[in-house]
């Protein structure tokens, strides 16, 4: 059995679009239902970096860094609010292979850079996974206001205070992982996204609405083993 993981998530942008629930439902595996806020399902692109990724029980000094770009939405199953990941692009061949083989996560190898300069995050990602659709995402983002606790804001709480995620593994199996962490601290944010082909690579049209942005400096996370959904 693969051990649970510990890691830190840092310099996150939550870039969020409203989507018609019926459209989202067509993209989800059987057994998951779109979760809605103000009548809309929501699709989120999340660039960030992992720090000190390691099996539980090892010191942080032995962990590895792993910048990522995720595409996710918000779902329910058996009344539990959760996240569904369409894809996780990440830097590092060994890390991507390990996540695919041992944690059954839909990771894709990408060349990613993340830099923090003068209060702005500069982020670039280009998917280079053999045999898969190319994805290019590039832009900058930054906090614009005062920090707040996500549980104090209904929409922010809807987006980030979720402690289970679902994925569909490469063998077609349907799986979930539980996570634990402190409540999120978020900032209102702005972004200048120059290139984004992530949504279209998964069959989503570019939404007409402007995205809602939140930034977080991050938090520390523990993730359980991957479990097969019966």
CB 107 within 8 A of CB 93: no
Give the CA distances from residue 176 to residues 11, 39, 83, 110, in Å, rounded to whole numbers and listed in that order. 25, 26, 9, 24
pLDDT digits (tens, 9 = 90+) for 168-207: 876 777 889 999 999 999 999 999 999 999 999 999 998 8
Is residue 95 within 8 Å of 102, Cβ to Cβ? no
Give per-residue pLDDT as tens, 150-173: 999 999 999 999 999 998 876 777
**Whether the Cβ atoms of residue 53 and residue 63 lie closer than 8 Å to each other:** yes
135-149 pLDDT per residue, tens: 999 999 999 999 999
Q: Where are the domains of the chain?
A: 5-228
Global pTM reads: 0.93
Which CATH code fits 5-228? Answer: 2.40.400.10
Tens digit of each residue's pLDDT (9 = 90 or more) over 46-81: 999 999 988 888 888 888 888 999 999 999 999 999
Q: Give Cα 202 distance to the centre of its chain.
A: 15
């Amino acid at each position: 059995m693969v051990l649970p993981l510990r890691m830190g998530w840092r310099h996150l942008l939550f870039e969020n679009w409203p989507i018609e629930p019926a459209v989202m439902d067509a993209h989800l595996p059987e057994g998951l239902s779109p979760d809605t806020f103000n009548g809309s399902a929501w699709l989120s692109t999340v660039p960030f970096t992992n720090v000190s990724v390691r099996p539980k029980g090892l010191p942080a000094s032995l962990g590895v860094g792993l910048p990522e770009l995720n595409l996710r939405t918000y779902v329910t199953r058996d009344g539990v609010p959760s996240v569904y990941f369409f894809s996780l692009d990440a830097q590092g061949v060994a890390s991507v292979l390990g996540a695919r083989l041992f944690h059954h996560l839909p990771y894709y190898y990408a060349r990613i850079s993340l830099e923090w300069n003068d209060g702005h995050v500069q982020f670039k990602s280009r998917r280079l996974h053999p045999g898969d659709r190319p994805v290019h995402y590039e832009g900058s983002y930054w906090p614009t206001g005062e920090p707040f606790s996500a549980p104090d804001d209904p929409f922010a709480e809807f987006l980030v205070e979720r402690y289970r995620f679902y994925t569909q593994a490469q063998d077609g199996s349907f799986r979930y992982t539980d996570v634990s962490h402190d409540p999120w601290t978020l900032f209102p944010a702005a972004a200048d996204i120059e290139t984004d082909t992530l949504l279209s690579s998964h069959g989503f049209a570019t939404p007409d609405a402007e995205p809602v942005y939140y930034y977080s400096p991050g938090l520390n996370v523990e993730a359980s083993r991957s479990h097969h959904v019966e």
